[in-house]
Chains A and B, each alone.
Chain A
């Protein structure tokens, strides 16, 4: 069975500094996708970045990058140049299989609450 683990319940970071949020996963399926979502206090889940299991390069989206270490089954999110608006809950999620559809089922980790300090 697939499993996602986020071991950091909360993190602090100074504004303009970089921060790494940890995520490890476990699956027996060689094909899977990894996602990071941001959830501000308003409640909406905002998609940040995606990494497919066969992707050769680490995904990047603006200030977000995903440090994908397949052998270690980790998919850490790196946020560069933190901003006050980055304060939110961050969820790592996994989907077995590389495509969406009837089985496009996301399993979420428990989340990391990030607080950016001025």
Chain B
């Protein structure tokens, strides 16, 4: 199984709502990532989890709260978002570890298109 799944595909929420994005992989990867992508721009890294521990937070506002309940799941909890947070949110996973001829490419999910009204 070489697939990263994300739910929901589309989400529309108001600025006072609380919602969650979910990501799941069954490739045995121990690193998982959240990216934010605005239209016609490259993905921007938000968070990295390595062995279920948060290892990178790219100064993301606290209205985004990541959670990694186990090695296969990654959540992104959303609260009090702003309209400028509307974007495609991509989840990715990869292997972890030292390899001389490392690739450890990141496998991406299809993304959640978020609209904040």
Binding site for B on A (CB under 8 A): 33, 35, 37, 42-47, 50, 52, 55, 91, 98-106, 108-111
Contacts and interface: CB of A to CB of B under 8 A. Distances in A.
A47 B107 contact: yes
A89 to B, nearest CB: 8
Interface string B20-52: 000000000001000000001111010010100
Given A99-B97, A101-B31, A45 B102 contact: no
A45 B108 contact: yes
21 contacts: A37-B108, A43-B88, A44-B110, A44-B111, A45-B90, A45-B92, A47-B107, A55-B101, A91-B43, A98-B100, A99-B99, A99-B104, A100-B102, A101-B31, A101-B98, A104-B31, A104-B50, A106-B45, A106-B106, A110-B42, A111-B40
A118 to B, nearest CB: 25
Interface in B101-117: 101-111, 113
Interface of B: 31, 40-43, 45, 48, 50, 55-56, 88, 90, 92, 94-111, 113
A52 B50 contact: no
A104 B42 contact: no
The binding surface of chain A is classed by DSSP as loop
B50 A101 contact: yes
B27 to A, nearest CB: 13
B103 to A, nearest CB: 5
A98 B99 contact: yes
Nearest to B99: A99
A37 to B, nearest CB: 8
Contacts of A106: 45, 106
Contact of A105 (B40, B48, B97, B105): B48
